[in-house]
Amino acid sequence: MRKSMGAVLGSAAAIVLVGGAGLATAAASPAGSAASGTEHFSLMTTQPTASKYVIITSGVFTAGGTDVSGAKTDTAKFHDGTFKIHHGSALHITKQKVNPKTCLAQFAATVKFTLGGGTGAYKGISGSGTAKINALEIAKRNSKGACNLNAAPAVNEQTITATAHVKV
């Protein structure tokens, strides 16, 4: 998904709510009829070009799985269903910083999103909220020793925390 900090700045909306492979999917479906309340989302990856991230949700329902990124819409996948996360709104960048001596790059932003398109246990899901995106990387150096933010980083991590009011 993201090849460099420079790419994040140009296409950060596409990373808004993305999950990852490697987490054993575990979920507790919403019980009985429609439930509503606050849902918390936590996502992360350490893969600089990932298009899937680990996702854990808790609140109205608790689930673990993957979230597959898209340009404006992601798909959250759990063992008992899926739902769409629409994040096409503008990012509000809150931090953008590079240390030229150490090549440590930091990026933070917020974005609004909506939920819909549920299947299985998430059929009829709706809601909206705000996500906080944080990316931290150590950029590789170019042949002249300068930080190269356009190349895949030496090391990176991306985390997203979000809260939404949902109805399932």
Per-domain residue ranges of the chain: 5-167
* Average pLDDT over every residue of 128-144: 96
Q: What is the pLDDT, as a whole number, of residue 24?
A: 35
Dihedral, 22, 47, 156, 79 alpha carbons, nearest 10: -40
Mean pLDDT of the chain, nearest integer: 84
Per-residue pLDDT, averaged over 94-100, amounts to: 96
pTM, whole model, 2 decimals? 0.79
Beta-carbon contacts of 63 under 8 Å, excluding residues fewer than 6 positions away, are: 25, 26, 27, 28, 29, 55, 56, 57, 78, 80
For residue 12, what pLDDT is reported? 41
